[in-house]
Amino acid sequence: MPVPGDYDGDGTCDLAVFGKISGRWAARDITRAYYGTAGDLPVPGDYDGSGLSEIAIFRPSSGLWAVQDTTRVYYGTTGDTPVPGLYQWYGTGNAVGSCRTQPAIFRSSTGL
């Protein structure tokens, strides 16, 4: 499954894939790692505001969001679709701080 993102922080999108059965992540010429299990969905993004895409999964069976070496949080439930979103916070004055990815879900049964 394709999981593009900026895994090395050079400002360009890198080619990367996630193995849905094995949990293997591979970003071309950058990294290879195992994170997640069969049934997990990849949700890469910049969860810590570092400017890099982090390896992350959503586990539909429990609503677990897990970002490698960063955090784990439960948000959502069985049947929800993960929709990682960006929000932007601002520094002092009008200076833009950074964009960070936040967990979000779509619940088709209710339209939430």
pTM of the model: 0.84
- 32 burial level (CB within 10 Å; 0-12, 13-18, 19+): exposed
pLDDT tens across 41-95, in order?
999 999 988 889 999 999 999 999 999 998 999 999 888 999 988 765 544 444 4
Higher pLDDT pick, 94 / 9: 9
Task: Report the mean per-residue pLDDT for the chain.
Answer: 88
Q: Kindly report the number of other CB atoms within 10 A of residue 101's CB atom.
A: 21
Whether the Cβ atoms of residue 44 and residue 56 lie closer than 8 Å to each other: yes
Query: How many degrees, rounded to 5, is the angle at CA 53 between CA 106 and CA 84?
Result: 5
